[in-house]
Amino acid sequence: MPTLLQTRPISPDPAPRRSRRGRATLVAAGIGLALLVPAGFQVADWLPDRPLGQDVVDTSTPPLLLALEDLSEYHAATGTFQVVVEREVDTRYVPSVISGESASFLATGSADAYVDLNGLDAGRVTLSPDGTSATIALPAPRVGEVRIDPAESRVLDRDRGLVERVGDALGDNPVDDSELYALAEDRLAAAAAQSDLRQRAEANTRDMLTGLARSLGVQQVEVTFDEPADDES
């Protein structure tokens, strides 16, 4: 007769359970990745092309402006002028042969017309985005002080009365030509102001700056000048 053996329920093997759990985890991860990829593309549309890129900003001073500042003051034209100054000193109620003096003085002097480039700001120089053209606005040229050349200046004629000649002999009344020089400076300055020195200075400065700009790679240059002040016109 067959014998009934005592049986015990067989516990399931834990290994297959872990395998099913692992498969479930992989499936969940795959679903999450599938959901994140489209969301990632949508966020990327709102981000810049290079979110961690570096922007370079050029804050350096334009080389052309630096070159102008280095010039400081450009003497663009020089004029040489001559005037004859006549000065007469009379003694009241006394004939000129007794007391008095007259002199004719030939004065030769020169004056420069210059452009003051010192302290120009960046607004005076406008450079195109590609750096090939520029506009430069400058102050009006000025005429400097007159310089009398003693070697080229002389007294043409001098006539002194008896009193002045006796004073010369005694050393009490030496000849003083300072007044002649002062008058000559005024006349020479007036002649320089009425000349075309400023126009020549503008033309020479424009030519100089055009050559300077081209050496720095700027091919087209427009140079303008301010209107001269009332006391310089």
pLDDT single digits (tens) 110-150: 999 999 888 777 788 888 888 889 899 999 999 999 999 99
User: Per-residue confidence at 156, pLDDT binned at 50, 70, 90?
Assistant: very high
More confident position, 164 or 178: 178
Residue 173 three-state SS: coil
How many other CB atoms are there within 10 angstroms of residue 70's CB atom?
A: 8
Amino acid of residue 45: D
Cα 115 versus chain centre, distance? 11
Amino acid of residue 121: D
Most distant pair of Cα atoms in the chain: their distance: 186
| Percentage of the chain modeled with pLDDT above 90 | 34
Contact 62, 108 (CB under 8 A): no
Picking from 198, 222, 200, 225, the residue whose alpha carbon sits closest to that of residue 209 is 222
| pLDDT value for 94 | 75
Q: How many residues does the chain have?
A: 233
User: Per-residue confidence at 195, pLDDT binned at 50, 70, 90?
Assistant: very high
DSSP conformation class of 151: G
| pLDDT value for 85 | 93
For residue 29, is pLDDT > 80? no
Residue 101 three-state SS: strand
For residue 220, is pLDDT > 80? yes
Name, in order, each residue with C-beta under 8 angstroms of 232's C-beta and a sequence gap of 6 or more.
140, 142, 143, 193
Q: In the predicted model, what is the mean pLDDT of the chain?
A: 75
Picking from 114, 111, 112, the residue whose alpha carbon sits closest to that of residue 188 is 111
Q: Is residue 131 part of a domain?
A: yes
Helix 197-215 vs helix 63-71: crossing angle, to nearest 10: 140
Residue-range definition of the domain harbouring residue 68: 63-225
pLDDT, one tens digit per residue, over 70-118 is 667 889 999 999 999 998 887 787 777 777 788 899 999 999 999 988 8
Q: Is residue 136 part of a domain?
A: yes
For residue 163, is pLDDT > 50? yes
Distance separating alpha carbons of residues 147 and 142, to the nearest angstrom: 15
More confident position, 220 or 2: 220
Q: Is residue 160 part of a domain?
A: yes
| pLDDT value for 7 | 36
Q: Is residue 102 part of a domain?
A: yes
Give how many domains the chain has, as a whole number.
Answer: 1
